[in-house]
Chains A and B, each alone.
Chain A
Amino acid sequence: MNRSISFLSLFVLGFGVGTVAHADPEADRLALVNYYQQRYPNVDLQEYANGLYAFDEVAREQWIEMEDFPPYEIGMEEGEEYFNTPFANGKGYADCFENGGIGIRQNFPYFDATLGEVVTLELAINQCRETNGEEPLPYLDGELVAVSAYMAYTSRGSTTNVNIPTQDPRALQAYESGKEFYYARRGQLNFACASCHAQSAGLSLRADRLSAALGQTTHWPVYRSSWGEIGSLHKRFRECNVQVRARPFEAQSLEYRNLEYFLTYMSNGLQLNGPASRR
């Protein structure tokens, strides 16, 4: 028994450390790109930024119809107002970000070496508020998400380009944790994110077409018709977890930020097209 335990811990330890040291995000991404291009040779790579609409013609038509006057514009314009309204100390969001916060969505998420953690745009927005003596805002929907939507809008057409500092093992560890989260089964239904969105992308789950792991981060925040308002990527993470009967994590928890880090890296090279509307 003792032997088997020590063997196992050795195995786990060796396995864990070894793989992080050899983690190769770019190889992971290329494998996914290659997989989808072989599987759906007629779907252009950039199309994955449009989620399930890359596959589903009927849904796509309705989506294009929605884009005629997309309901996310309501939240996005509120976001522009919030963005341009100064804090009590006279400063504003523009003072916290590079280039006054305009056209910088593609720089998120990134690994902050000082903090030793992944920083997402939403986290940075609240950091900005707190630095300036303002209360942090809820991460799921509402004002913060509106600000995020406006900032995403000013970055449309930029290319997703997550840069993982591979010399920093903590950054690789964060990436690897996010990857594990994506591929590990959880909840009573025993589904991983990947169960639906990796191998099964483009197939139907009951009435839904499943979006691919590529492009899942390009278009946030999203106005989901089922929400009736714009919400954040982490709100969707929570919803997906609950759907497989796994207890969700808090929005902007380390788990979800690492997941976003991994997932956004997978979309490197795809154009940002947020905010967006979805079913």
Chain B
Amino acid sequence: MKIDRRNMLRNMFALAAVLTFPRFLFAARPDTAFAATSADKAIADLLGDGTPADSSAIQMKIPDIAENGAVVPVTVSTELENVESISIVVDNNPTPLAASFDMGPKLLATVSVRIKMGQSSPVRAIVKAGGKLYSTTKEVKVTIGGCGG
């Protein structure tokens, strides 16, 4: 293979780009994890084996009693370093994996989203940081409205 100057330059630029943004490469959507009907399988499909360790370094803000199961606001934040992803799993939903965020290094480790809950359920926030899994869980009650439907 002949290395001319132009190719050389191009390679140097490519290398520089990789060095500047070293970690953030996107994967494809983990479709099997989203299709999984149990929380444990969804988590295993999404993040690989290994039970997430309970961590007090994750804060999940979610109501104890959801006003409407169709719109439950969730915010997950963490002080953990080198956060790679934040995922939200609703155990009792038909397919428990609700959302997963691949977090680039330029983001603060916090994300908010509104999710649907079919019924009362534990909700887990799972953070992958430095190659390890951490989680926190909260029980959320979904009530049947008398008027609001």
**Which A residues form the contact surface with B (CB < 8 A)?**
58-59, 61-63, 65-66, 196, 204-208, 210, 224-226, 228, 239-240, 243, 278-279
Contacts and interface: CB of A to CB of B under 8 A. Distances in A.
Contact of A226 (B70, B114, B143, B146): B70
Contacts of B149: 226, 239
A1 B67 CA distance: 56
B60 to A, nearest CB: 14
11 contacts: A58-B65, A62-B63, A63-B67, A204-B146, A207-B143, A207-B144, A207-B145, A207-B146, A208-B145, A243-B147, A278-B148
A206 B143 contact: yes
B70 A61 contact: no
B52 interface: no
A58 B64 contact: yes
Given A207-B144, A279-B145, 12 more contacts: A58-B65, A62-B67, A66-B73, A66-B114, A196-B147, A206-B146, A208-B145, A225-B68, A225-B71, A226-B70, A226-B145, A240-B147
Contacts of A225: 67-68, 70-71
A226 B71 CA distance: 9
Contacts of B73: 62, 65-66
Q: Chain B at the A interface: mostly helix, strand, loop or mixed? A: loop
Contacts of B145: 206-208, 226, 279
Nearest to A206: B146
A153 to B, nearest CB: 21
Interface string B65-92: 1111011110000000000000000000
A107 B81 CA distance: 56
Contacts of B71: 66, 225
A207 B70 CA distance: 15
Nearest to A64: B73
Contacts of A62: 63, 66-67, 72-73
Contacts of A205: 146-147
A33 B64 CA distance: 32
